[in-house]
Amino acid sequence: MEDLSRVELMLFITVYVVIQIAIGLWFARGTKSDTDYYIAGGRLGYFPITLSLFATWFGAETILGSSAAVAEGGLSGARAEPFGYAICLVATAFLVAGKIRSHGYVTIADFFRDRFGKQAEFITAIVLVIISVIWAGAQLLAIAAILETTLGLPGVLTLFVAAGVVIFYSMFAGLIGDVVTDVVQGLFLMGGVLVLFVAIVHQFGGFAAMLSVIEPDQLRLIAPGESLFTRADAWAIPVIGSLVTQEVITRFLAAKSTSTAKAAAFSAAGLYVGIGMMPVLIGLSGAHMNVPGADGDNFIPAMAIEFLPPMLAIVFIGALFSAILSTVDSNLLAVSSLISINILKKLHARSSERRQLMIARFGTAFAGAGALAVALGGSDIYELIALTSVFGQGAIVVATLIGLRTRFGGPMAALACIYTCVAFNLATLLVLPMMDAISDGMAMGPALQATLAGDVEPIDGYFIYSVVVSLGAYVVAGLLEGPLRGGKPQKI
């Protein structure tokens, strides 16, 4: 971009962010309790829930991470997008949302407390906090990648600025402000992605010409040397691993009825597939273009700068911000709810309504600080989010699905399931890959660093294995508990 365009872009982003903050604060001005803050009083309709679900999930992974992975390795690089997560949205609506919503919970950990006891509630909240904080850190990395590419600003500076803006906005806007701005951001995002897609099609001289440059090898779902089991695991991560997440469940809880929540989920899944295919096609065709700076997570921003007129490039960069802001503020609110309601539950229980709201807002600030710390550590966006999808998540899915629909298994079953899964994940994602790197001659420090950065491959099928291990632990512990304690839910 020329200097003038960079100035225009910086001005646009500043104005855009200020407007978003103003909108969020305006609609959040009536927030009086942490229930209003976290689930908007459970009174939202079909349209805002649809766009909020879409905007929350359509984040850095979809636009930046997956398009870059597809450009580098074809469809085998990012199989989860867009179909895996769309399937997950539909499955969540069918299997989880209705049951959770009917009991008036605010968090998933609330269900674990009523079904499996207070210790299971606490451990579940800790695991979900870790997942959401790392996920939010990945979104902040995406913001830094965009600004570094488009404006030439230092990545560290943009991380601090982005974190400060998102923390302030999320602290005071709450879910109602988040959802209202999601509507704006969702529309803006769809328009921005469509603009870039049309521009790329024009560069090729038409849609057919664009498709013609895609080589057969790029369409393979299995990478060279990859097993069918590994391929199945890559699909299981988005479909099963994201089935029970606080960010999505919050939207269902905020809907005015279960039928509204389900209908919104189906519509959001349709939007996700339709809009999500565009970055995938851009990645497949754009791999054959020689665009300066189109490497890694900078692939899409570089394409926008290269092929869009300055004002349209500004619109598209704003759309990227929409996607990322929608996801990261949802992450922060999810962490805040788990901390204030489930981890600090004694303080929460004896606090006044006003103080509960204050604790909620400080919890959001704490979550933002944690996300910034993760982002400063640095990692590839797609790999970072893929890791968070599996850490302890297999156990939470297993315990939730069995606990919601059967009377089998109690506190011992849930705890055994979670502890076993976390230990298994640590072994397959960190310990064993690091040991392999050390056995190949790498020193311990560099081996650990390479493992954390995703440069060392985990065990094939690690997520499916974690689900199987979690299920086994739950069943064995449930049988040991016996029918009286293990089969009697507390409130469900």
- Look up the CATH number of the domain holding residue 222: 1.20.1730.10
Residues whose CB is less than 8 angstroms from the CB of residue 117 and which lie 6 or more positions away in sequence, other chains included: 410, 411, 414, 490
Q: Do 377 and 445 lie in a common domain?
A: no
Strands (E), 272-425: none
User: 144 vs 194, which has greater pLDDT?
Assistant: 194
Q: Which of 250, 336, 301 minimizes the C-alpha distance to 57? A: 250
Query: pTM of the predicted model, to two decimals?
Result: 0.83
- When divided into structural domains, the chain yields a total of 2
Three-state secondary structure call for residue 255? strand
> What per-residue confidence (pLDDT) applies to 437?
67
pLDDT value at 484 more than 60: no
Residue 206, domain extent: 3-386
**Closest by alpha carbon to 370, among 139, 154, 146?**
139
Q: Is 482 exposed, middle or buried (0-12, 13-18, 19+ CB in 10 A)?
A: exposed
Residue 458 preceded by cis peptide, ω within 30: no
- Indicate whether 306 pLDDT > 60: yes
**215 and 353 both lie in a single domain:** yes
Q: Using the 3D structure, point to which of 386, 406, 439 is the last residue of a domain.
A: 386
| Residue 54 neighbours by CB under 8 Å, 6+ apart | 186, 268, 271, 272, 275
Residues 268 and 263: their CA atoms lie apart, in Å, by 9
| Residues 208 and 288 grouped into a single domain | yes
Portion of the chain with pLDDT greater than 90, in percent: 13
* Local confidence band at 294 (pLDDT 50, 70, 90 cut-offs): confident
**Residues 6 or more apart in contact with residue 62 via CB below 8 angstroms:** 81, 82, 85, 276, 279, 323
What pLDDT is stored for residue 388 in this prediction?
Answer: 63
| pLDDT greater than 70 at residue 60 | no
Query: What average pLDDT score do residues 47-60 get?
Result: 81
pLDDT of residue 4: 45
Q: Are residues 146 and 251 in the same domain?
A: yes
Same domain, 124 and 201: yes
Q: Rounded to 5, what percent of the chain is helix, strand, coil?
A: 80, 0, 20
Residues 340 and 415 in one domain: no
Q: Any residues with CB less than 8 A from the CB of 103 and at least 6 apart, and which? A: 110, 111, 114, 491, 492
Distance of alpha carbon 261 from alpha carbon 338, whole angstroms: 21
**Residue 102 scores a pLDDT above 80:** no
Question: Which run of H or E residues covers position 305?
Answer: helix 299-307
* 287 and 239 in a common domain: yes
> What contacts 164, CB < 8 A, 6 or more positions away?
none
376 and 407 housed in the same domain: no
pLDDT higher than threshold 80 for residue 424: yes
Residue 456: pLDDT band by 50, 70, 90 thresholds?
low
What's residue 141's pLDDT?
A: 79
Q: Of 352, 367, 386, which residue sits at a domain end?
A: 386
Can you give the pLDDT at residue 124?
A: 94
Write out the two tokens for 353: 């309504």
For residue 405, the model assigns a pLDDT of 85
Q: How many CB atoms lie within 10 A of CB 5?
A: 17
Of the candidates 277, 320, 318, the one whose C-alpha atom is nearest the C-alpha of residue 298 is 320
Contact assessment for residue 421 and residue 466, using Cβ atoms and an 8 Å cutoff: yes
Distances (CA, A) of 490 to 419, 474, 484: 21, 17, 12
Q: How far apart are CA 443 and CA 374, in angstroms?
A: 24
Adjacent-strand bridge partners of 229: none
pLDDT band at 478 (very low <50, low <70, confident <90, very high): very high
In order of 97, 120, 357, the CA distances from 44 in angstroms are: 15, 30, 20
Give the pLDDT mean for 376-386. Answer: 63
3-state secondary structure of 464: helix
Of 1-15, 312-326, 375-389, the range with the highest mean pLDDT is 312-326
> Lowest mean pLDDT: which of 212-221, 428-437, 443-452?
443-452
Say whether both 410 and 360 belong to one domain: no
Domain boundary among 335, 367, 386: 386
Do 352 and 444 reside in the same domain of the chain?
no
| 489, pLDDT greater than 50 | no
pLDDT band at 20 (very low <50, low <70, confident <90, very high): confident
Note the pLDDT of residue 487: 43
Question: pLDDT confidence of 122, banded at 50, 70, 90?
Answer: very high
Q: pLDDT band for position 413 (50/70/90)?
A: very high
Top mean-pLDDT range of 33-47, 121-135, 223-237: 121-135
- 379 and 419 share one domain: no
| Whole-number average pLDDT of the chain | 81
Confidence of residue 492 (pLDDT cuts 50, 70, 90): very low
How high is the pLDDT of residue 106? 83
pLDDT of amino acid 488: 46
Do 179 and 75 belong together in one domain? Answer: yes
Cβ neighbours of residue 142 under 8 Å, at least 6 residues apart?
Answer: 59, 60, 64, 65, 297, 320, 324, 381
